[in-house]
């Protein structure tokens, strides 16, 4: 029958329905994502909620990117009760559930990104681990009219941690936090980021499935709240030339299911890392290039991944080295509980279900094969010349989506993690985007060549 957790109270189906009515919920939106992580939804009245919980809701899967063909289009949404939450920006008139996508015979749909992550989580649990992640998503606030003209203008000219009146979005961020907390996100900090008009709201880490859905809730709340203030919020990785792009750094750890302790903690190691942590890091570094097609899934993603703008390019790791691909943040309080590995190349364009699935798969592969990472690098890698990079055997991430596709296509690990259906659909979509991009005439070309040739 399923249960829902609201606050610290575990609720069964009847209680969920009663809670929805008590809150004044009139409509229930059933949410899921396509292969790119774009949230899709349909809505029913609260009077149909019990029926939908018991029997699901049919929809046409052939119209969803990366799902099924027209002759096998029937799919069913089953709401996950544990994801029940009112949407405060609607005055609690609307509540949402995230859903599992199933076929008419009741089996999980192999192309459902939520199912793909759940399979990988179960694999980790079979090995005795729970995967915990805490992503940091950056975004830009633009004036709405500038976006309509395709010439995005940042809302302000403030910089990192600036205070008002330079930071013009303090009230917007506060309202976003107010909208997020009833949906279960525990916000830890908000601040202006480095680039003009760029912001970050950090929420507490959790298990990978909960966090993937927190990412979706966060992006939706940011966009909805910005629109209410006459602004446009964008999670595009690199919307403006010459300033920092937006990343989604992901802090990761494994919890030992039997002991409840952080499996990454090695109290006698100089970095406080266990062998499990070292092997996990080794696995992610080994598979870093092949994961980029999922972690950095757009043509635009690779305009962020260039030296000079704080984005990681070089495949190395270190403690406080922000130029490294994987960083081990120093935690002065409760180090054993909080030791973690921060993967810095993912961006907010990724599908969080698929991103966390391939990241976990790479780490677990490192643990299984006891992959030893290279020596840590504590210098600024951006200052290294080619000779030093070569001497330290430091490789770079793919420089384009085309290169990322080549790496991904040859990866057995990514193929097995996604399954043949999603793996092929994603590669097909990437190549379609590449073809369209490479044949478009850009403003740069017109500016550079139109009058000079």
The one catalytic residue among 112, 156, 202, 342: 342
User: Which of the following is catalytic: 322, 395, 421, 431?
Assistant: 322
Contact call for residues 250 and 133 (beta carbons, < 8 A): yes
Cα-flanking dihedrals φ and ψ of residue 176, to 5°? -60, -45
SS3 335: helix
CB of 346 within 8 A of CB of 328?
A: no
* 312 and 432 Cβ atoms separated by less than 8 Å: no
**Neighbour-count burial of 446, counting CB atoms closer than 10 A to its CB (0-12 exposed, 13-18 middle, 19+ buried):** exposed
Active site residue 229: no
Catalytic residue among 34, 136, 162, 167: 136
Catalytic one of 193, 213, 365, 407: 193
Q: How far, in Å, are 210, 347, 360, 382 from residue 121 at the CA level?
A: 11, 22, 8, 35
- Find the catalytic residue in 344, 347, 365, 407: 344
409 a catalytic residue: no
Q: Catalytic one among 34, 200, 213, 347?
A: 200
Rounded distance between C-alpha atoms, residue 73 and residue 75, angstroms: 6
Q: Is 80 annotated as catalytic? A: no
Task: Single out the residue of 35, 50, 46 nearest to residue 93, CA to CA.
Answer: 46
Q: Which of 50, 60, 380, 420 is catalytic?
A: 60
Neighbours of 86 (CB within 10 A): 20
In the residue annotation, 344 being an active-site residue is answered as: yes
Long-range contacts of 14-18 (CB under 8 A, 24+ apart): 16/49, 16/53, 16/81, 16/84, 17/46, 17/49, 17/50, 17/53
- Residue 407 annotated to the active site: no
Is 322 catalytic? The answer is yes
Q: How many residues are given for the chain?
A: 453
- Cα gap 405→418, rounded to integer Å: 14
Contact (Cβ atoms closer than 8 angstroms) between residue 383 and residue 367: no
Catalytic residue among 114, 192, 249, 279: 249
Supply 231's token pair: 């602004």
Provide the b/e sequence for 9-20 (b: ≥16 CB within 10 Å).
Answer: eebebebbbebb
Residue 43 bears catalytic tag: no
- Which of the residues 34, 80, 138, 175 is marked catalytic? 138
In this structure, the strands spanning 187-192 and 198-203 are antiparallel
Q: How many CB atoms lie within 10 A of CB 311?
A: 25
Q: Which residues are annotated as catalytic?
A: 60, 136, 138, 193, 200, 249, 322, 342, 344
């Amino acid at each position: 029958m399923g249960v829902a957790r609201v606050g610290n109270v575990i609720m069964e189906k009847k209680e969920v329905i009663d809670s929805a009515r008590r809150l004044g919920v009139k409509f229930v939106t059933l949410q899921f994502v396509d292969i790119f992580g774009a949230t899709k939804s349909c809505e029913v009245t609260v009077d149909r909620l019990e029926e939908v919980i018991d029997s699901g809701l049919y929809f046409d899967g052939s119209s969803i990117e990366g799902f099924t063909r027209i002759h096998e289009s029937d799919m069913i949404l089953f709401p996950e009760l544990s994801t029940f939450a009112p949407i405060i920006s609607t005055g609690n008139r609307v509540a949402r559930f995230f859903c599992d996508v199933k076929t008419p015979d009741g089996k999980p749909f192999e192309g459902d990104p939520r199912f793909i992550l759940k399979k990988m989580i179960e694999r980790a649990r079979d090995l005795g681990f729970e995967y915990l992640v805490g992503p940091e998503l950056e975004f830009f606030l633009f004036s709405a009219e500038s976006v309509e003209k395709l010439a995005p203008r940042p809302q302000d000219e403030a910089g990192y941690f600036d205070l008002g009146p330079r930071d013009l979005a303090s009230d917007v961020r506060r309202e976003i936090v107010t909208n997020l907390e009833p949906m279960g996100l525990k916000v830890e900090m908000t601040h202006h980021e480095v680039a003009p008009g760029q912001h970050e709201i950090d929420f507490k880490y959790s298990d990978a499935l909960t966090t993937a859905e927190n990412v979706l809730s966060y992006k939706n709340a940011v966009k909805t709240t910005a629109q209410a203030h006459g602004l446009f919020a964008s999670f595009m990785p690199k919307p403006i030339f010459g300033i920092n792009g937006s990343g989604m750094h992901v802090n990761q750890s494994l919890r030992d299911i039997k002991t409840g302790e952080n499996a990454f903690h090695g109290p006698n190691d100089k970095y406080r890392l266990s062998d499990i942590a070292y092997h996990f890091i080794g696995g992610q570094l080994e598979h870093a290039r092949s994961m980029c097609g999922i972690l950095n899934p757009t043509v635009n993603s690779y305009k962020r991944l260039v030296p000079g703008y704080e984005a990681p390019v070089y495949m190395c790791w270190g403690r406080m080295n922000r130029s490294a691909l994987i960083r081990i943040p120093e935690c002065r309080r409760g180090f054993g509980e909080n030791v973690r590995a921060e993967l810095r190349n993912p961006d907010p364009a990724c599908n969080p279900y698929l991103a966390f699935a391939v990241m976990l798969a790479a780490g677990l592969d490192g643990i299984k094969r006891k992959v030893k990472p290279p020596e840590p690098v504590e210098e600024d890698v951006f200052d290294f010349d080619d000779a030093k990079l070569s001497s330290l055997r430091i490789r770079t991430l793919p420089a384009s989506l085309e290169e990322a596709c080549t790496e991904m296509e040859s990866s057995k690990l990514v193929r097995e993690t996604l399954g043949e259906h999603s793996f092929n659909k994603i590669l097909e979509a990437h190549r379609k985007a590449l073809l369209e991009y490479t044949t478009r005439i850009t403003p740069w070309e017109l500016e550079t060549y139109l009058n000079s040739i």
